[in-house]
Chain A
Amino acid sequence: DTGVSQNPRHKITKRGQNVTFRCDPISEHNRLYWYRQTLGQGPEFLTYFQNEAQLEKSRLLSDRFSAERPKGSFSTLEIQRTEQGDSAMYLCASSSGTSGVNEQFFGPGTRLTVL
């Protein structure tokens, strides 16, 4: 049983650079979520996909952020022109979306440090 995987696990970049993270959900899950977690805080919802369609975006997702899930399988989250405030753990989760259940399974996260 392979869970949600995320790559890379750590990313250090300089301010102004672009970064891209990848998430591979549990294979039979059609829903995929991105969250951001800063130090001392709980995860905050960023965006959500059902299959390849991006159905919801939080106001936290500024124009510098873009997420895709081109074939309804893996997803990428890109941050353009990174800022120091983008430093955080980026978490991906997936769920099967069966009726009455919204149990999300989380990956280990990608820790971004912007210098």
Chain B
Amino acid sequence: AQSVTQPDIHITVSEGASLELRCNYSYGATPYLFWYVQSPGQGLQLLLKYFSGDTLVQGIKGFEAEFKRSQSSFNLRKPSVHWSDAAEYFCAVGPGGGGADGLTFGKGTHLIIQP
């Protein structure tokens, strides 16, 4: 069965500092990987996705993520965080190729931005 682990429940970063959120997955086939962000009272917004090809993917809001098959990881990075980045971040794994199974999410990482 697939699973996603986000080891950090909370992360505190100073505004302007760099950020890395960790995600490790377990999936039987080639994984399709996603990062979503959830702000209070808001739905989940897709930041970026990896299906195939270049293992470094760019997303919205200046985020990027790198797929490392050997480490079963898909870590999210941003070079300089802004106060508006404070939110809950979820990594998810799912099937592609038209597969219709639901996504499996991690428990999330709560990002706190210090002024």
Quick check: B100 and A31 within 8 Å, CB to CB? yes
| CB-defined contacts of B51 to chain A, threshold 8 Å | 100-101
Quick check: B94 and A91 within 8 Å, CB to CB? no
A45-B104, A91-B44 given; A98·B90 CB < 8 A: no
A35-B102, A41-B107, A56-B101 given; A106·B94 CB < 8 A: no
Q: How many A-B residue pairs have C-beta atoms within 8 angstroms? Tell me.
A: 72
Quick check: B97 and A99 within 8 Å, CB to CB? yes
Cα–Cα distance between A3 and B43 once the two chains are bound (Å): 11
Report the minimum CB–CB distance from A13 to chain B (whole Å).
20
Interface size of B by CB at 8 A reads 29
Quick check: A98 and B98 within 8 Å, CB to CB? yes
Quick check: B49 and A103 within 8 Å, CB to CB? yes
| CB-defined contacts of A41 to chain B, threshold 8 Å | 107-108
In this complex, the member of A4, A43, A98, A102 whose beta carbon has the largest number of chain B beta carbons within 10 angstroms is: A102
Q: Does A40 contact B (CB under 8 A)?
A: yes
Interface size of A by CB at 8 A reads 32
Classify the interface of chain A: helix, strand, loop or mixed.
loop
Cα–Cα distance between A43 and B93 once the two chains are bound (Å): 12
Quick check: B43 and A109 within 8 Å, CB to CB? yes
| CB-defined contacts of B97 to chain A, threshold 8 Å | 99-100
Quick check: A108 and B43 within 8 Å, CB to CB? yes
Cβ < 8 Å to A, chain B residues 86-107 = 90, 92, 94-107
Report the minimum CB–CB distance from A67 to chain B (whole Å).
13
Cα–Cα distance between A41 and B102 once the two chains are bound (Å): 16
Binding site for A on B (CB under 8 A): 4, 32, 34, 36, 41-46, 49, 51, 90, 92, 94-108
